[in-house]
Structure 1
């Protein structure tokens, strides 16, 4: 293998390492901080008992009744905010009915708002509950019907729920909500009996069924929480059901056991994350909590309980919990972390190890979007910015390629001269590079720099709720989805949907064409194998990129067009690059 082939193989290996192997390398070099020890909990049962954590067991009532019928069966307090609409169930004091007004289920403007929470007994039930677990006293449970002091919960106007037992112990839950997605739950217990009582406050989130979003090594979907210094992405739904996880789960979650996983920790938060949506319980950040996840069949629960509180006669104990239920909007999540003092709340978005690149790209892209009002145009402006920043490097790249082109006859002569002595051949070629001041890897710089940028943009398009359902022009109505228009079925005229691997849309085809012309602008490699690789690479990448988000393809096409224009400019500065390489070998170098 000659030096050019080695360089190409080295470049591909480095690219593969960055895109695929980086998480493993990073995990080895910078291991995640030690998490609190996992503690055992009592097995989940169907009867209404409490676990060792002092919280109710998983609600295993599974039916698929009509949601409207279920909602009408119990008294409710309405939830009305600029971002949310739903209700609180007075039976069980549950937030179990919630839709996100600013997010639609599909790209159709008449589509219904995205539903996040649904009551127990409906398909894919999903709800949050709060209360006190008593020691020797009658405490409210899921069948308790509370009384409310107002018919609706709106920002700035809290609602208080009350219930008392026969012993004279009273319970209150005060719900407040902001204009976005954060609820504040103030729980109190007042001891009106003649003896001290002991209780511990808890909060839980329960969901039934697996989400549509797949869990992958690129983006964690499932149970998520902060216990100690970092976010825990190790626990998955299969893990809670008692089975081992995938290869990546076994690599990154070696300390996670199948079944319930609980942690003793100060503060933190926990819940369930989808790609775009999140529910999170946020206990008092100074409270010692016993928190974690468990499952019963296909019903999953995240819950926490704080240290038991002893309440003397005539006294009141209070506990404040926050509950996030909404979209993972980056600016909002960061605001809650900074202003609400929620440790590592931004880890709710699985940026991964490239967050140092991804978050600045998101913020700049979001700035451009707010400036121009079209996300596709914002991507084009982002591409122009990146190419502008890389232009000085590209100039050096072309200068390096020009030098490599100029010494190719000498290199070919050395290869012919020492074709039977490979060590000597490499020694002489390296000596030639040193004498001519050539860096054989000098042309890889801009391409290598673009790999993390492209990966970061891919993650931004994949993770950011702000990018969901954003249109560009004509048929491109969702830049976070693949191109829906393909000539394979004559652009929808034929009544069938092509398989994913051949559903090549218009944008991927334009990507392949732009790469073809970009490669045509490059100096033809001397090696025939390289020529064949570069000839088919544009069309291979066209198929590879077809299932990816149109926004990512738009970035690449724009980058290719700018590269072609840049090449024309730099060829004018380095005309030696356009000189054809002689097909006949240069004169042999005389023996020393």
Structure 2
């Protein structure tokens, strides 16, 4: 078998490994996109239910179940521009909360995202505040607190009051802003005859793990910031194995989903002990408590905690960070390349606010990057021209020293030096594109600003794969192909654009390399099919601009289009 044939066979084997092996590992280490929000059926776009949605959005039985639980306790309503829900006066818990601005699906009549639910209801998830009973007798969990007002809203706090038989009076004041932040002031007045130790606590409890699993790319589950660092290392399985504890001054802890967050933010000037622990029936709890303070008779002690429950909107998280919540925008799992992803997101978000369409914003982002890298592309083409000019000499050296690979490499390197050619220079634009491409991938995957953002026509969510595929005759056949097989229209356009781009590239002299370049567009089409449409639009736009760029640069380097001299 000749060397060229061996190269072709090797490439074919690698291509098969990529096509069939890659889907098996991508969801674990490199999740491609959000789940589809639509499918094409009978030639029409149909909204899909959200598989990760709260059951109350779809199940009448679950709605009645939660309604029955909510009716067990008198309540204070929560009404803000972004939140609706209630506080249970039995136990003083925030256990009923929906996010008005975010829907379960893209349907106009879709239910809002439900974040918190009371204990005893499906997917229980709530926050509670109280005092440890080590020498102090706080109100029991079934005590009904007295409320100062029926509604909690921005600018209108609500006070809950209770007392014990030993002469201590307890007050919890809830306030809320027009975002997702509650301020909780816990006060104890010691009207008894002896000093008492006071140690307030806050907790967040939930049943079950998140439906979006934690992966190598995105962390979901317990999260904290302590001792100056953001901690993504603790997973639900670690909590199952044993309580995870830390002590810090400043920081926060809670549960971070892909898009949603609950976080307890204690007094940043006081030390506190934080922990994640597991209970029965797959229940998990994040809680904190500072060291106890001895409260003399006739004195009062107040501690303040902030509680965040809402969507991980980047600009809002950053505004809370400026208000003293350390590393709060790290609740979005930017990953190792945060220093590159955050500017990409900021610019893309600014473009979106300018034009009102994230798809158009992605195209404008691509234009910007292409304009900035145009001088580098010019140098790349100049390098390619020089490489093409010395191809005959390289071929002669390869033939002359084909039995001595070490000497062959030495002679080729000497040729590069003699002709002042840098073979790596042509790779620079590609290397620059890699971090940009990965940054956009992460931005589409982890930022809620991209969730359910449409482009036009059948593309209703840029963070999900293209639902329109010829595999089922564009929805005319009554079956939905698996995601790795559902090659949509946009990925096909990506493959076509890459094909024409490669056709304009200088053709390599080696036949095996020609075969590789001929197959590469179609291999990439299959690999990219499950990824977010927004990422594919970036690549298609980049390919089209590269084709235009090549046309311009070919006019400046005509030697690239001519066959090299023998």
Q: TM-score, normalised by structure 2?
A: 0.88
Aligned match of 2:308 in 319, 324, 348?
Answer: 324
The answer to whether 1:464 aligns with 2:464 is no
Deviations 1:130-187 (A, max 9, x none): 0111223321232121110000000001000000001111110000000000000000
1:365 and 1:64 mapped to 2: Cα distance?
39
Aligned length: 512
* Matched ranges for 1:64-463 at <5 A: 66-242=65-241, 259-297=242-280, 298-338=282-322, 340-463=323-446
Find the residue that maps to 1:466 and give its secondary structure: helix
Match of 1:576 in 2: 559
Name which structure has the greater RCO, CA cutoff 8 Å, separation 6+.
2
SS at match of 1:500: coil
Residue 352 of structure 2 aligns to a residue whose secondary structure is helix
**In structure 2, what is the Cα distance between the partners aligned to 1:266 and 1:136?**
24
Name the residue aligned to 1:44.
none
1:53 equivalent in structure 2:
none
- CA deviations on 1:293-328 (whole Å, 9 max, x unpaired) are 011241111000011011111100110000000010
1:494 aligns with 2:477: yes
Task: Write the deviation string for residues 331-382 of structure 1: whole angstroms up to 9, x where unpaired.
Answer: 11011001x1111112111111111111001110010000001110000000
Structure 2, gaps ≥5 residues long: 19-24, 30-61
Q: Which runs of 4+ in 1 moved over 3 A?
A: none
Secondary structure at the counterpart of residue 138 of structure 2: coil
What is the CA RMSD across the aligned residues, in angstroms?
Answer: 1.8
Q: State the partner residue of 2:492.
A: 509
Deviation at 1:65, TM superposition (A): 7.2
Q: Where in structure 1 are there 5+ consecutive unaligned residues? A: 25-62, 243-258, 587-592
C-alpha distance in structure 2 between counterparts of 1:431 and 1:83, whole Å = 67
Query: For residues 277 and 124 of structure 2, what CA distance do their matches in structure 1 show?
Result: 16
Q: Per-residue CA shift, 1:34-90, capped at 9, x if unaligned? A: xxxxxxxxxxxxxxxxxxxxxxxxxxxxx9971111111110000000010000011
Aligned to 1:38: none
Distance in 2 (alpha carbons) for counterparts of 1:181 and 1:492: 40
Aligned-partner Cα distance in 2 for 1:168–1:91: 21
Shift of 1:424: 1.4
Distance between the aligned counterparts of 1:580 and 1:223, measured in 2? 61
Q: CA deviation at 1:199?
A: 2.1
Q: 1:271 to 1:500 in 2, by over 3 A?
A: same
TM-score normalised according to structure 1 size: 0.84
Kept in 2: contact 1:64–1:122 (CA 8 A): no
Q: Could you say what secondary structure the match of 1:352 adopts?
A: coil
Tell me how far 1:492 sits from its aligned partner. Answer: 1.4
State the distance in 2 between where 1:218 and 1:141 align. 42
